[in-house]
Chains A and B, each alone.
Chain A
Amino acid sequence: MTPKGVTLKSNSRKMKFARRFICTLLQMRKPRPVSLSIEEVRARGQRIKIAAYWSMAHAVGSRRAWSRALLFKLRNRARYQTIMRRRSPGLKTKRVIKNDTPGELSQTKKLRQLVPGGKTMDMCNLLEETAHYITCLATQVKVMQTLADNFSK
């Protein structure tokens, strides 16, 4: 079954991610769209993106802070959405984040916003998690690229 000359690392993070991602993709295939509009494609893309992040976080496990935060966020996504819907627009306008003066402080803030769960970390942890997150994102991108290439052939 296994192709020769290829080293198998079934437990690597990449493999785990790929497996999970493909599984989720196949699950998502169920509601088949008869006619695809751009909006549908976008929604689908969103879902695929979320699936990718979810599978990545699952592959990493709950050992890392960012994956924990991501999983938590995705798990409670529906609830958040309902809460956000219920909220009056006045509240939303109040919650606009002010942009600070450009500098290191705002940069760290940016980084905190980018890395999931970064708002609660201190600087040391943030950098560590960022490093891990970057590596994971890179593998994710690789896997997705290969998948896309293969499917679009």
Chain B
Amino acid sequence: MGPKEKLPAHRVRTVILPAFRKVGLVPLFQQWSSSRPLWICLSRLGSLHLIVRGPRFLGEGSVIWGNYVRIHPYPARARRNRTRSAPIPGGIQRIVNLTLENASSFTALLELPATQAVELLHLSQSEEGTQAPPSGDIFQGIGDDHKPYLPSFDGNLTFPSNRALIEAAAKFSVFAAGENSPETSSVPSNSSANLGKVKSEPAETDSNPNSSQPLVPDPTVENKTQRSAKRKEQRKRAKGLRRRARTRALKKLRKLPYRHSELVAARREKINARMKLLQELVPGCSKVRLCLLDYAAFNNGFVPVTFSQKRCFCGKISGTALVLDEIINHVQSLQRQVEFLSMRLAAVNPRIDFNLDSLFATEGGPLVDSNFPSMASLSTVSRNPIQWNREQYQQQCPFDALHQPFWGREEDNHTFHFSRELPFES
């Protein structure tokens, strides 16, 4: 009963939607199962079929393992177990028809309480809904826990052989097969369109606008012969439809890699655009094209060229590589320039205090005259903080003013010294 019990994998099975693509373990979140209760039924092999309202990619035949859902690679194979599933407009999927060949009791039984099931599907009233079915032990557990994938399940379950119930379920299945009666409550078309799934059984299913109608089978009418005939028809139809669905699915599958390539192409385009932008920025990058032209002029298909040569001459890779090389060189050179200039400034820096007065006292000074226009405004804009700095500085160390002439004297010597020592002080 506890929520942490796990069912054996072959016992639990979700029957959801035929159209899904992904294969793998998917976490079955609490929300899926607790907020949206499902329809549960047992197949004749004794496996639990859970109908989960889940994300789109959950499919028929996927198996719940504890908190995970193993998604079945081929939903068609699950359908070969003669379980047909159909979507319902809210995205809820449920079984329409279960296997009834052996007329095994429990499948039919669990199928039957249709009204409650519908209620279940639409709201999370699992507790009222699940208590009704005859093998109530499982369902109560489910309803209480709100975790339909973790019911306590022991192999020796006794399924009550309620004859009438079995018959009713069988008739229901026949209805679903043969006639387009509104009671079948299979697929409305819009749901499949909404979910982007393969439309399965459009002819049968489109006639049902109101799927929420309770399924009321009348047990008096049907004969067994009729049933079998109808079943055969149904099978034929289903086969054709299955094939159609399969081809559609395959088509969709085939489209997938193309989409991937499109994505890759878009990314490549993006990178190429950035590369072009960088080429414009970096001055030496026009060489690359020249190089390519050179190769065209140079080779003409006669001269044998080694692979590496080819690689450096032509081709996209080499082009991008060369551009990258240029970019790297440019960045490095700029960084070196910054380093060099900072060293130069450091060597020159002692003069700043010396020059400051002359620089900022005469506003038409060297800063304005320089060919760097914004520096002119710099002298005015940054005047205040500098002056403030200077005053503060002088307040902090008053002896500095005394040393100023000394500095002026010293500084020439120093600059001379550095010009000899450091090569960049030309």
Contact = CB atoms under 8 A, between A and B. Distances in A.
A134 B381 contact: no
A134 B378 contact: no
Given A110-B328, A152-B348, A23 B278 contact: no
Interface stretch (A25-33, A57-65, A76-84): A25-33
A47 B236 CA distance: 84
B342 A137 contact: no
Nearest to A108: B324
B377 A9 contact: yes
Nearest to A43: B346
Nearest to A56: B338
Interface stretch (B28-36, B102-110, B363-371): B363-371
A146 B371 CA distance: 9
Given A44-B346, A45-B345, A131-B278, A146 B372 contact: yes
A74 interface: no
A134 B278 contact: yes
Contacts of B281: 131, 134-135
A112 to B, nearest CB: 10
Contacts of A51: 342
B354 to A, nearest CB: 9
Interface in B102-137: none
Contact of B346 (A26, A30, A41, A111): A41
Interface in A96-153: 103-104, 107-108, 110-111, 114-115, 123-124, 127-128, 130-131, 133-135, 137-138, 140-153
Interface string B261-286: 00000010011001101100110000
Interface residues of A, number: 69
Contact of A26 (B337, B368, B389): B389
Given A124-B271, A131-B278, A12 B380 contact: no
B348 A104 contact: no
Contacts of A6: 368, 373, 376-377
Given A26-B389, A134-B334, A15 B378 contact: yes
A14 interface: yes
Given A29-B349, A144-B341, A19 B271 contact: no
B82 interface: no
A52 B338 contact: yes
Interface string B344-366: 11111111110100010001101
B315 to A, nearest CB: 11
A146 B375 contact: yes
A91 interface: no
B352 A29 contact: yes
A71 interface: no
24 contacts: A2-B380, A3-B364, A15-B381, A18-B382, A23-B385, A23-B386, A26-B386, A26-B390, A29-B353, A29-B393, A32-B400, A41-B422, A46-B342, A104-B324, A108-B324, A127-B274, A130-B327, A134-B331, A135-B281, A141-B341, A144-B342, A147-B375, A152-B348, A152-B351
Given A1-B380, A18-B374, A153-B355, 9 more contacts: A3-B364, A3-B368, A30-B393, A38-B422, A111-B331, A114-B331, A146-B372, A150-B375, A151-B351
Interface of B: 267, 270-271, 274-275, 277-278, 281-282, 317, 320-321, 324-325, 327-328, 330-332, 334-335, 337-339, 341-353, 355, 359, 363-364, 366-368, 370, 372-378, 380-382, 385-386, 389-390, 393, 400, 407, 414, 417-418, 421-422
Interface of A: 1-3, 6-10, 12, 14-15, 18-19, 22-23, 25-30, 32-33, 36, 38, 41-42, 44-49, 51-53, 103-104, 107-108, 110-111, 114-115, 123-124, 127-128, 130-131, 133-135, 137-138, 140-153
